[in-house]
């Protein structure tokens, strides 16, 4: 893992979310909340899960060292997996776009040395964890991609054609 890769993944995350959200903008509030058979039963639930995980990982990354991006007031929010991060689709779009800018800021602050260090943090259930920082960063981007794929399947199930996730266009 290197800083160039993290910047690429942050850019991919931002651009892919923008594309994905254009499809989500076209669905109705009922479709936003439509129940599917997945662990996260709706597009709203998936978007909420990814947003909360992303926010909390960006906060955890601050355990490594002081990052300037963490001075943003969004990081004062206390959200756990059971929280609801937004009230509406529009609220989600605004908050997601803002968080994606924080990922870009995070990526621009990283050093090669950061990626080689060990991150110490507590899991959601309070267990002490230690992970390679670069590996944890890679995990976060992989988690995002995994759930974007689930959203694509839900959109497909509703008959909404979508094609928004393709890293090759950025390399």
Domain definitions of the chain by residue range: 3-170
pTM score of the predicted model: 0.95
Q: Would you identify the CATH topology of the domain 3-170?
A: 1.20.120
Angle at 131 between CA 145 and CA 143, to 5 degrees: 10
In order of 33, 76, 113, the CA distances from 56 in angstroms are 24, 10, 22
**Tens-level pLDDT at each residue, the chain (171 residues):** 899 999 999 999 999 999 999 999 999 999 999 999 999 999 999 999 999 999 999 999 999 999 999 999 999 999 999 999 999 999 999 999 999 999 999 999 999 999 999 999 999 899 999 999 999 999 999 999 999 999 999 999 999 999 988 888 888
């Amino acid at each position: 893992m290197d800083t160039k890769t993290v910047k690429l993944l942050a850019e991919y995350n931002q651009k892919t979310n923008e594309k994905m959200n254009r499809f989500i903008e076209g669905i109705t509030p009922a479709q936003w909340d439509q129940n599917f058979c997945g662990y996260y039963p709706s597009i709203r639930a998936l978007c909420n899960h990814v947003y909360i995980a992303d926010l909390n990982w960006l906060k955890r990354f601050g355990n490594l060292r002081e990052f300037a991006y963490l001075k943003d007031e969004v990081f004062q929010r206390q959200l756990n997996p059971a929280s609801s991060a937004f009230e509406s689709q529009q609220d989600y779009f605004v908050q997601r776009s803002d968080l994606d800018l924080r990922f870009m800021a995070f990526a621009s602050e990283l050093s090669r040395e950061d990626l080689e260090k060990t991150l110490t943090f507590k899991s959601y259930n309070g267990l002490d964890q230690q992970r390679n920082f670069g590996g944890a960063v890679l995990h976060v981007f992989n988690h995002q991609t995994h759930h974007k794929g689930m959203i694509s399947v839900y959109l497909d199930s509703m008959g909404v054609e979508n094609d928004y996730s393709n890293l090759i266009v950025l390399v």
